[in-house]
Amino acid sequence: MSQVHPEEIELARFSDGEAGVGGAGHLRWCARCRSVVADYRWLQDEITATLATAADAVPVPRPKWWVVQERLFASRRRQVTGGRISAVASVVLTVCLMLSLSPVLATAAIAQTARTLPPAAVVAPAPVTAVVSGGRMASVATPTPAISRDEVTSSPTPAFVLPPTPPEPET
Amino acid sequence: MTDADAIARAIEGGGAAQRALYEAHHAAAFRLAYLLLQDACDAEEVVQDAFVYVFRNLRRYDPARGSFWAWLRVVLVSRCRNERRRRQRLRLVSLELLDAAGQAPADPKPDSDPANVLERLGARRVVWEALQRVSPGARDALTLRYYEGLSYAEIAATLGCSTDAARARVAHGKAQLRRLLAAPEEEEEMVCKSGVTRAAKVG
């Protein structure tokens, strides 16, 4: 026989028919707790009746199917427009990425080509010649002569040849 | 036409089947939304919103997990909670605006019950008004338990919480209601004070 009164929450649970709640034995002899449980049972009935009455008394508006339909169409339209926008955005993004990455890719391709050439081949930079035309100086790169792969690989000891010094420009 | 037939047809794009589903469940959905929000206009808006969501996501409905009404109820309760949060935000904003303009708020909580509800409630009006002052989470749980007659597991599934949490919400709701009915003014003061303390802590 428990002398301690269960907490109010315990009694609220007990009133809802929850078995196994502590203090069930206590209720057999405690009139005070029994009265609290009775209060809760009355309250439950009142809540049920009040909610049912309020739900019955509220005037239910006529179902407005056209409103739901219109909102459904609007949401579908938004979905389609959103899909188109995201498709266009992804295409634009892809193009931008490709454009921004193209120098990097080109550098990588040059590096790859350089790696595939035999390490012995050393190609000297092209000589730079200054051309004076109409009193204004401009530098022009001389095109590097093409070296065939056979030429490069056939020479056993490649010699590094210094490019000729470009002539001093006349002032 | 049963719900299963209507759903099968509605998935294939049948507008008539969607309409049949809407008309079959509209009244029940509106009543539940009204009990959760205690505002007929908001309830109507939320019901339409819930149906739009349901029809857009009808392919996700799994009959093995429950009836169509059970699924609609989950969507509806969730929408009602969102609506309550929105209302709370709006109220805060409008009060701030009024404060900034140097005007006192006229009535922060206007009576939104239709007259015939109050008339029909009669002596039960006290319980109804006390229910409106119970915390929203507990009120949802009480409504689902005593109006919808759901088990704790079903309440938990609808509110997205554990069964123990659902039990606790119902029990706390009843305890709050009992205190409110015993000493309404005192309890309201306590609720206000705890709200102020919470707001101060958050702030």
Pick from A124, A127, A116: which is nearest to A149 by CA? Answer: A116
Contact residues, chain B, for A49 at CB < 8 Å: 124
pLDDT at B149 over 90: yes
Q: Quick check: pTM over 0.90?
A: no
- Beta pairing partners, A138: A131
Residue A108 confidence (pLDDT): 83
Whether chain B has a CB inside 8 Å of the CB on A97: the answer is no
Contact residues, chain B, for A21 at CB < 8 Å: none
Tell which of B56, B57, B76, B178 to mutate to test the A interface (max A CBs under 10 Å): B178
Q: Is A149 helix (H, G, I), strand (E, B) or coil?
A: helix
| Range with the largest mean pLDDT of A109-118, B83-92, B102-111, B178-187 | B83-92
- Answer whether B142's CB lies under 8 Å from B131's CB: yes
Average pLDDT over residues B132-138: 92
Whether chain B has a CB inside 8 Å of the CB on A61: the answer is yes
pLDDT per 10-residue tile (average), chain A, 171 residues: 75 76 74 89 93 91 89 82 82 86 81 72 57 57 57 61 74 59
Q: Output the CA–CA distances (angstroms, integers) from residue A81 to A76, A89, B54, in the order listed.
A: 9, 12, 21
* Residues B174, A49: C-beta atoms closer than 8 Å: no
Q: What band does B196 get if pLDDT is binned at 50, 70 and 90?
A: very low
Residue A81 confidence (pLDDT): 79
B21-43 per-position pLDDT tens digit: 999 999 999 999 999 998 899 99
Closest partner CB to B52 (pick from A13, A52, A68): A68
Task: In chain B, count H helices and then E strands.
Answer: 10, 0
Could you give the maximum distance between any two Cα atoms of chain A, in Å? 123
- Answer whether A34's CB lies under 8 Å from A44's CB: no
Higher pLDDT, B174 or B103: B174
Residue B201 confidence (pLDDT): 44
Could you give the maximum distance between any two Cα atoms of chain B, in Å? 59
Q: A129 φ, ψ to 5°? A: -115, 145
Percent of chain B predicted with pLDDT > 70: 79
Contact residues, chain A, for B143 at CB < 8 Å: 51
